[in-house]
A and B are shown apart, each in its own frame.
Chain A
Amino acid sequence: MSGLEHVDDYPEIPVSLASTSTILKTGAWRSVRPIFANRMAPCSAGCPAGVRIPAYIDDIKEGRLEAAYATVTARNPFPRITGRVCPHMCEDNCNLAITTGEESISIRSIERWLGDAGMDLPDPAADAETGKRIAVVGSGPAGMAAAYYLRRTGHEVTVFDQRPQPGGILRYGIPEYRLPSEVVDEEIARLESMEINFHNNVALGRDFTLDDLEAAYAAVFIATGAGQEKLTGIDGEGLLESGLDFLEAANRGTATLPGPRCAVVGGGNVAMDVARVLRRLGADVSVLYRRTANEMPAIAEEYEHAVADGVHFHWLVLPRTIKKDGAQLRVTVEEMWLGEPDESGRLRPEPTGVTCEMHFDGVFSAIGETADTGVFPPRLRNDDGWLDLGEDGETVDQMVFAGGDLATGPATVIEAIVAGRRAARAIDEQLGFSAVWPAEEPLEVVPPKDINLTYMPHHDRSDDHAAAGATAPASFAEETDTLSEAEILEEIDRCLSCGHCNNCGTCFVFCPDGAIIWDDGPRIDHEFCKGCGICVAECPGHVMVLVNERDVSHA
């Protein structure tokens, strides 16, 4: 017998009762440290306004509608508008599309849904009244954006416009089927509810001068747009109708067809709008462009919709003369060929000397728009007749700023909004209110190679513009529909959320050390993190990065 006849005779077994976490501070093993980096998504970097796209997408996904709307309006007050008409430069940068060839996230569709869903949300209350009065001349997107941000600071803002209703190009330029006037009305009403004053039917140079405004207001922002069609140089110029004037008439409901066969000269967005409006009025429409589809400045999508509408495109033709021929117009066009690239990088059209004749009932010019700067004092202009402006739209007069198409020539709505916001910030800085604006340090952009494609989506893109132009154009009713909430949530599911932590939990799930604590979101416990780097490698949108411990422990 061993002598161990009873259970009580067994030697005591050593028992560990304390947790390893009490003494084993394994964080000391680490040579590299994972951190949540403040990086920018490539879509945000591609957006002229720098809207934090993954952040608001995440807010929508989590049902935080007000937060999502506030994230957008911090940089773009009008998601309902840009969600309809923006050429979405953001989507061109989508890391998912660049690395996999999948279609990009339909950011514009999401933005539009948010704009519509958020239209009844209260805008952030203006800060305490500053007692400063600011004048904004021109009520297009640049003026509206400047007014919005200046009012948020607490200034008293008055917007002047020469037309009967505010909205500028949004109301009188962009056709109803792309941007319904009802949407513009509602966005203006939002601004009015913020106590921004609108004075319509008053024009700079006619009813008041810049000096009048400078005398009465603490600062002035001018954004009167580029409202004149450039001269085409065609012999018979007077027989051409202005594309912009035609679009304004169409938006006022007074446009009439010159006849059943019409031509539009030009290849930009105004040309596409004029052609598509003419189709809706029942005309047979030909676009005459001196280069080819590859060089057209129009938004590619608008060109595709024009083709779907049944607009004919004649490439490499330049109208030389227009003459009356009975009730019709006889247009002599010269055929062109493409030579070397010009300063814009596009191939330059060169004349061939070969001409032919075409007959139309009306010909519209849309080769580009320019601003009428004659109403401004000479001290504000440069030798070319344009306004002489600094980076933030500042002029020689310290408290006068300008921006939008007036400064840049025809550009996109979002670029005008950016100009208005930038000028509002510059004005606030001049007036001593720079503290209300967030600091903007440049952020590193998440490169395509950093995202983890294991987590790429496995369903197709939903896009509200996909069906536009597909049926015969008959109506001016909006041609696209806002997607449903379910469709938007499905689309959001495709986003890898580059550079923005959307609490997916991947880092938490895969940490072999339990060193990522879940408190409604991940928190790295550097006391125990061994620095294996799994969280960084697995993070779908590469929100996390590894930094050398040497660089942070002594910082």
Chain B
Amino acid sequence: MRWVVPEAEHMAEGTLGCQGCGGALSMRLVLKELGKDTVAVLPACCWSIIDGPWPVHALDIPVLHTAFETAAVVATGVKAAKEIQGKDTTVVAWAGDGGTFDIGLQALSGAAERNEDIVFICYDNEAYMNTGIQRSSSTPTGTWTTTTPDQRPEARPKKDIMGIIAAHRIPYAATATAAYPEDLERKVRAAMAIKGGMRFLHLLSVCPPGWKMEADQAIEVMRRAVRTKVFPLYEIRNGREYTITRWPDDLPLEDYFSLQGRFKTLLEDEAMLELVRGNVEERWQILLDRHQRSHPELAGAE
């Protein structure tokens, strides 16, 4: 095999993910590195469904289904119990954007501020997908959802969750996507290597039904999100040191939007497109500036 990705599987076949589900793929790839000595805590999210109905479930690790707002705090409790048992089990809170950006933010902020010894992973499909594609604070400007219909697409920019997390000065935070599996696996390993503190991974995870697109383009669309700077891949150590891990190229934004029906009106609205372009470029420049200040030795070289 050409890919440096472990062959071992910890996710069974027969999950209830939709065709081309980025959330299912993200879980499958992340677990390959996390391994069997892991407990996952799932608040309400697509994965509450994907994992299967009682009495079956898809993962070969223990999974706790919990209330929407509690992923980080339940994970904290599980980790405390494991510590009392003298076990070094990895405890993962695995939440969607609703359970991270919106409903789970308080518990997440508390756990991050206390620097709890857990890994919080947000698989972000940019809306409340399994309840019927309602907007979340992760939904980007110009997006169609059922609560931001074509007549009034999402007006606000996507919440800067990585900025919020960085402000807590936790040891490790990173963005990743299953379209770059080796980068993703490396970041999971980096998170595993840091013990005794909070680790946060923000995974862009395609949702073909919610993004209104062909399932077979699932990988391509995530790849284009990275290439167009819509979703840059980077890591932040101790809330301060920024490192860009995959450089975007000059692919135009439209090439990302045009694969997805949820951006149909955006593509027809030049003024809003200009606004979005400005947002993407501004965020990229801020990231680039932080990357360069974190790596003075690389000054002048990209």
Enumerate chain A interface residues (CB-CB to B < 8 A).
Answer: 14-26, 29, 454, 503-506, 508-515, 518, 525, 527-528, 530-534, 536-538, 546
Contact = CB atoms under 8 A, between A and B. Distances in A.
- Closest 3 A/B residue pairs (Cβ): A533-B216, A505-B1, A24-B14
Contacts of A20: 12-16, 51-52, 56-58
Contacts of A532: 19-20, 208, 215-216, 218
Given A20-B15, A532-B215, A533-B215, A509 B24 contact: no
A147 to B, nearest CB: 41
A525 B7 CA distance: 16
Contacts of B217: 537
B61 to A, nearest CB: 12
Contacts of B11: 514
A505 B5 contact: yes
Contact of B13 (A505, A509, A527): A527
30 contacts: A16-B52, A17-B55, A19-B60, A20-B51, A20-B58, A21-B13, A23-B14, A23-B56, A24-B52, A25-B14, A26-B16, A454-B223, A504-B3, A506-B2, A508-B1, A509-B5, A509-B181, A511-B25, A512-B218, A513-B17, A513-B24, A514-B13, A515-B13, A518-B1, A532-B20, A533-B214, A534-B20, A534-B215, A538-B219, A546-B216
Contact of A512 (B17, B55, B60): B17
Contacts of A17: 55
Given A16-B54, A512-B24, A538-B219, A21 B12 contact: yes
The secondary-structure label for the interface of chain B is: loop
Question: Among the interface residues A20, A506, A515, which one has the most CB atoms of the partner chain B within 10 A?
Answer: A20
A530 B223 CA distance: 22
Contacts of A546: 216
B22 interface: yes
B2 A505 contact: yes
B20 A512 contact: yes
Interface in B43-74: 51-52, 54-58, 60
Contacts of A533: 19-20, 214-216
Given A20-B58, A525-B13, 19 more contacts: A16-B51, A16-B54, A16-B55, A19-B56, A19-B60, A20-B12, A20-B51, A24-B52, A454-B220, A505-B1, A509-B5, A509-B29, A513-B15, A533-B20, A533-B214, A534-B215, A536-B216, A537-B216, A546-B216
Interface string B212-249: 00111111100100000000000000000000000000
Nearest to A515: B13
B21 interface: yes
B219 A537 contact: yes
The secondary-structure label for the interface of chain A is: loop
Interface of B: 1-3, 5, 7, 9, 11-22, 24-25, 28-29, 51-52, 54-58, 60, 178, 181, 208, 214-220, 223
Nearest to A508: B1
A527 B15 CA distance: 12
A125 B217 CA distance: 49
A346 B17 CA distance: 60
B178 A510 contact: yes
B257 to A, nearest CB: 19
A530 B19 contact: yes
Contact of B28 (A29, A512, A534): A512
A515 B15 CA distance: 10
Contacts of A504: 1-3
B54 A531 contact: no
A257 B25 CA distance: 73
Nearest to A525: B13
A454 B223 CA distance: 9
Question: Among the interface residues A15, A18, A512, A518, which one has the most CB atoms of the partner chain B within 10 A?
Answer: A512
B114 to A, nearest CB: 25
Nearest to B220: A537
Contacts of B181: 509-510
A546 B19 CA distance: 14
B19 A509 contact: no
A19 B216 contact: no
A26 B12 CA distance: 12
B52 to A, nearest CB: 4
A513 B215 CA distance: 13
B56 A16 contact: yes
Contacts of A515: 13
A534 B219 CA distance: 7
Nearest to B52: A20
A511 B181 CA distance: 12
B13 A528 contact: yes
B178 A18 contact: no
Contacts of B214: 533
Question: Among the interface residues B12, B17, B24, B28, which one has the most CB atoms of the partner chain A within 10 A?
Answer: B12
A272 B57 CA distance: 72
A19 B14 contact: yes
A20 B51 CA distance: 8
Contacts of B20: 512, 532-534
A503 B1 contact: yes
B16 A24 contact: yes
A97 B220 CA distance: 22
B19 A531 contact: yes
Contacts of A18: 55-57
A521 B13 CA distance: 18
Nearest to A16: B57
Question: Among the interface residues B1, B55, B208, B223, which one has the most CB atoms of the partner chain A within 10 A?
Answer: B1
A207 B210 CA distance: 84
B12 A510 contact: no
Contacts of B55: 14-18
B64 to A, nearest CB: 9
Nearest to B55: A16
Question: Among the interface residues A503, A509, A530, A533, which one has the most CB atoms of the partner chain B within 10 A?
Answer: A509
A507 to B, nearest CB: 11
A510 B25 contact: yes
A26 to B, nearest CB: 5
Contacts of B5: 505, 509
A518 B13 contact: no
Nearest to B5: A509
Given A505-B2, A512-B25, A538-B219, A518 B7 contact: yes
A25 B15 CA distance: 9
Contact of A14 (B19, B54, B218): B54
B19 to A, nearest CB: 4
Contacts of A512: 17, 20-22, 24-25, 28, 218
